[in-house]
Structure 1
Amino acid sequence: MSKHPGAEELTLEEEGLPKVCGSLPSPLVPLGRKVGAEFVGTLILMFAGISAAIVNQRTPGSETLVGCAACTGLAAMVVVLATGHISGAHLNPAVTISFAALKHFPWKHVPVYIGTQVIASICAAFALKGMFHPFMSGGVTVPSGGYAQAFALEFIISFILMFVVTAVATDTRAVGELAAIAVGATVMLNILIAGPATGGSMNPVRTLGPAIATGNYKDIWVYLIAPILGALSGAGIYTAVKLPEADGETQGKASTPRSFRK
């Protein structure tokens, strides 16, 4: 049976490209498209997470902690499904830096990705400020307790998030088809754990955008440093405990790495 013209070349071109949640391999994606997808994905995630907190404040407690956590977790899940095959769906400077540290992502693209994530967060924050003013303060993450407690919680939940992300994105034996669900569920879990104490940020740009929009930089250093350190630790620990791959398994699967690390 003859092949469609160009099919062989397409097969060769696609070999070794990332898969996302069991989808077909993506074509070679130019950096511009990756950045565009990363911008839209981060914008959606920030808009969902910040708006849920604002609505919860504006209509006293109507969203509840569970609602806010579910909103952000669902947003993370659908964004990973929608953009993971294009940009890797980092959505978080801590994730980008961690993948670069593990050599799953080129360092030369780190500033571009982080800059895109920051701009997307600022755009979402100012859009929500215009729509919900004067209730924007509901979207700002600030500690309700001491520095040590806030730092520890943000470190731990970022550790958990990156531990899971590293598993589903870099380990060929993890259930790749459930990657988006695993990430979304982890985000929801972390917000349920730390939401009342820190807002459950686990993402520097989740805090930075609303802080710039409102001019409220209270304890912002906690949210800029703890998530990055926690994510680096989570990625490193999973890499350390991951089972070694057999030679045949490595040869058979090395050409199909997962999402999040384009």
Structure 2
Amino acid sequence: MYKKLTAELLGTFILVFAGTGAIMINDIAQAIGHVGIALTFGFVIVALIYSFAHVSGAHFNPAVTLAFWSMGEFNKRNVIPYIAAQVTGAVLASLCLLFLLSENFSNVSEVSYLGATIPSGSVSQSFGFELILTFILMIVICSSAVHGKATKDFAGLAIGLTVGLESMFAGPITGASMNPARSIGPAIVSGNLEHLWVYIVATCLGAMLASMVFLRVFKSDN
């Protein structure tokens, strides 16, 4: 079990370090751009899935863990340890970025609160976007990595491309979290917790709704 938890902690650390690090460095140097940030999130997910899927299942996302549990694809005894490892990895990544880049800014607001996900419009708008974005992501995960007839060798590519695509078009509106841990890490370390609940509740609801749709509509074709 310790190998699985280590993989989840390390994988989530790398995801948040690379993704939110790209946001922070773009704020500092204006050298990456929105498309570059979206591609960073997509590319790192592809790399992490192919690196750790055989160890832990490559969740790196509490919403995914909860959705797999709700589907009966994950042991309920491992849910809390997995989520704890994921959140710990995210917080450690944000702490590392704060330490490494602190000389480049005087206030965390200058670097998007360490790459936190913050609504650019109304809270309801971001809630709706995050629910739908995570629903789409979880449907892709289930259809490419869980379905019995899926070509699972390409699951990492399908999931990573989905993350990159959704980050590219929805990032400017919501931050395109799709992942509570990815939002919790920067929020806790930066101290900006104002809208954090949106990125926890909406993403978990979206993932679990997708798992229900998959079970009722698609899995019967296994």
Question: With structure 1 as the length reference, what TM-score do the two structures score?
Answer: 0.79
Count residues with an aligned counterpart. Answer: 215
Q: Equivalent pairs: percent with the same residue?
A: 38
Q: Does residue 72 in structure 1 map to residue 53 in structure 2?
A: no
Matched with 2:72 is: 103
Change (3 A) 1:243 1:84: closer
Please state which structure has a larger fraction of its residues in helix: 2
Matched with 2:53 is: 84
| Superimposed CA distance per residue, residues 44-88 of structure 1 (whole angstroms, 9 cap, x where no aligned partner) | 11111110111111123x211110110011100000000000000
Instruction: Report the Cα offset of residue 138 of structure 1.
Output: 4.7
Q: How does 1:189-228 map to 2 (within 5 A)?
A: 189-228=165-204
For the aligned residue pairs, the C-alpha RMSD in angstroms reads: 1.2
Matched with 2:208 is: 232
Change (3 A) 1:243 1:83: closer
For residues 138 and 123 of structure 1, the distance between their equivalents in structure 2, rounded to whole angstroms, comes to 12
What is the DSSP-based 3-state SS (H/G/I as helix, E as strand, rest coil) of the residue aligned with 2:220?
coil
Contact conserved, 2:4 with 2:55, CA < 8 A, in 1? yes
Identify unmatched segments of 5+ residues in structure 2. none
Matched with 1:168 is: 144
For residues 34 and 212 of structure 2, the distance between their equivalents in structure 1, rounded to whole angstroms, comes to 30
Instruction: Report the Cα offset of residue 198 of structure 1.
Output: 0.9
Identify unmatched segments of 5+ residues in structure 1. 1-30, 251-262
| Superimposed CA distance per residue, residues 94-146 of structure 1 (whole angstroms, 9 cap, x where no aligned partner) | 00000000000011100000000010000000000111123542511100100
| Superimposed CA distance per residue, residues 19-40 of structure 1 (whole angstroms, 9 cap, x where no aligned partner) | xxxxxxxxxxxx1111111111
Instruction: Report the Cα offset of residue 239 of structure 1.
Output: 2.1
1:130 to 77, 92, 99: 99
What is the DSSP-based 3-state SS (H/G/I as helix, E as strand, rest coil) of the residue aligned with 1:143?
coil
Question: With structure 2 as the length reference, what TM-score do the two structures score?
Answer: 0.93
Q: Considering only CA atoms, is the larger Rg found in Structure 1 or Structure 2? A: 1
Matched with 2:116 is: 140
Instruction: Report the Cα offset of residue 243 of structure 1.
Output: 5.6
Q: How does 1:107-126 map to 2 (within 5 A)?
A: 107-126=76-95
Contact conserved, 2:98 with 2:114, CA < 8 A, in 1? no
